[in-house]
């Protein structure tokens, strides 16, 4: 807690181009939550190198992601937006927590299994201990809540277990965080295969709407979205492609699914898809304009990066020093 505000931590990786799924399922909620909580939003670049990255590309994407946080409406004066690699406490706490994590716990992580299968030529130790670094991110700031997608729940459960395990030995050191799963836009599905989630690493560019897609591309992708042959606009699991489009339309316009179904009753899929395209463009176009404006002012972004890293570090160091003392590291002698 800071004053009467609870602390929130979340992070996103700067790998790949962000999709509408990332925006509706994460970023949009972050903006709303930043009104209520004391928020730390990191660009988790330490996590990114668990998979091989092109250095120049990673640097570029990381900056673009941080700029996008601001373009989406997060105020860098109120919330703390920073690069994970600029606060060394993340890596230092992760090491300590590694020594409290069992191999068996990490062996069970489904994301590790998936990523190991995908990158068989590089199953590195960082990929294996990825969830411990994530726990360090969260515990370093004594976060009360962590907005994550359902795919990250297993990592959050580990974080809670590690906090409780550590507290059981050393007293009340860490706040045990709660997950926050948003309802609206919780899971946006692929436009080409509605049984899969929309994902920035999808090989088919028509499966995802990217945040930087131009209006024509957005409309074309919506038009081509896979639906069904029933021909009637209804919101149900048997019509997963259409259901996903209704979810997207709902999340973009703020109208509930029932309201959308009523408004489009008796109309064709083509007409509805056009409306979905328009609704997405109406959300993304202003976001893109703000992004381009912000990007131009390099000095302002640099100042945000510098100031926010300092603010994050000031909190992180407090937790880190406490933990170092608890585990028995010698105190630093000053002067
Ligand atoms: P990758 O394809 O590289 O696994 P991703 O697009 O699945 O990436 P993540 O980096 O894993 O995205 O997630 C960033 C955030 O966006 C997380 O909070 C995640 O829950 C959310 N998110 C990702 N995809 C979707 C989606 N299709 N619908 C809703 N939220 C999503
Ligand atoms: N693993 C997360 C990103 C992430 C994160 C975090 C999310 C890293 N550290 C701490 C919440 C809190 C992902 O891939 N979406």
CATH superfamily of 7-180+298-327: HUPs (3.40.50.620)
Ligand 2 pocket residue status of 10, Cβ below 6 Å: yes
Confidence of residue 201 (pLDDT cuts 50, 70, 90): confident
Quote the pLDDT of residue 17: 87
Mutate-to-test residue for ligand 1 from 19, 23, 26, 65, highest number of ligand atoms within 8 A of CB: 26
Confidence of residue 118 (pLDDT cuts 50, 70, 90): confident
Ligand nearest to the CA of 14: 1
Ligand 1 site residues (CB inside 6 A) read: 12-13, 15-16, 19, 21-22, 25-26, 148-149, 151, 185, 187-188, 197-201
Q: For residue range 5-42, what is the model confidence (pLDDT) as tens digits?
A: 999 999 999 988 899 999 998 999 999 999 999 999 99
Ligand 2 pocket residue status of 48, Cβ below 6 Å: no
Alpha-carbon Rg for the chain in angstroms:
21
Residue minimizing CA distance to atom 5 of ligand 2: 11
The residues spanned by each domain of the chain are: 7-180+298-327, 215-293
Rounded to whole angstroms, the Cα distance separating 146 from 8 reads: 6
Ligand 2 pocket residue status of 190, Cβ below 6 Å: no
Question: What is 215-293's CATH number?
Answer: 1.10.240.10
CA torsion 33-36-42-48 (nearest 10°) is -30
Instruction: Specify which residues 80 forms β-bridges with.
Output: 40
Task: Calculate the alpha carbon distances from 163 to 39, 138, 184, 233, 323 in Å.
Answer: 20, 10, 29, 47, 11
Report whether pLDDT(185) > 70: no
Q: For residue range 79-90, what is the model confidence (pLDDT) as tens digits?
A: 999 999 999 999
The yes-or-no answer to whether 7-180+298-327 and 215-293 have a common fold is: no
Ligand 2 pocket residue status of 260, Cβ below 6 Å: no
Total-model pTM: 0.94
For the chain, first and last CA: distance in Å? 32
């Amino acid at each position: 807690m800071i004053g009467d505000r609870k602390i929130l931590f979340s992070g996103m990786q700067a790998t790949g181009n962000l999709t509408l799924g990332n925006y509706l399922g994460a970023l949009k909620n972050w903006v709303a939550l930043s009104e209520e909580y004391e928020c730390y939003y990191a660009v988790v670049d330490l996590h990114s190198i668990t998979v091989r990255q092109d250095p120049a590309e990673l640097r570029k994407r990381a900056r673009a992601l941080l700029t996008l946080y601001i373009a989406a409406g997060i105020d860098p004066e109120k919330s703390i937006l920073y690069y994970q690699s600029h606060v060394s406490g993340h890596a230092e706490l992760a090491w300590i927590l590694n020594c409290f994590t069992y191999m068996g716990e990490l062996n069970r992580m489904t994301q590790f299994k998936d990523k190991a299968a995908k990158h068989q030529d590089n199953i590195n130790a960082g990929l294996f201990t990825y969830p411990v670094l994530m726990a360090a991110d969260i515990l370093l700031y004594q976060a009360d809540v962590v907005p994550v997608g359902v795919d990250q729940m297993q990592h959050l459960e580990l974080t809670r277990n590690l906090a409780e395990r550590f507290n059981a030995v050393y007293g009340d050191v860490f706040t045990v965080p709660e997950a926050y799963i948003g309802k609206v836009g919780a899971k946006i599905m692929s436009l080409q295969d509605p049984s899969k989630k929309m994902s920035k690493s999808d090989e088919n560019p028509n499966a995802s709407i990217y945040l930087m897609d131009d209006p024509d591309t957005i409309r074309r992708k919506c038009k081509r979205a896979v639906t069904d042959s029933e021909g009637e606009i209804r919101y149900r699991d048997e019509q997963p492609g259409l259901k996903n489009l209704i979810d997207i339309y709902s999340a973009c316009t703020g109208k509930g699914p029932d309201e959308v179904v009523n408004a489009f009753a008796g109309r064709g899929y083509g007409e509805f898809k056009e409306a979905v395209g328009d609704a997405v463009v109406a959300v993304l176009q202003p976001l893109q304009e703000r992004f381009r404006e912000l990007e131009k002012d390099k000095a302002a972004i640099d100042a945000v990066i510098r100031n926010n890293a300092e603010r994050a570090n000031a909190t992180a160091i407090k937790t880190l020093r406490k933990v170092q003392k608890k585990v028995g590291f010698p105190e630093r002698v000053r002067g």
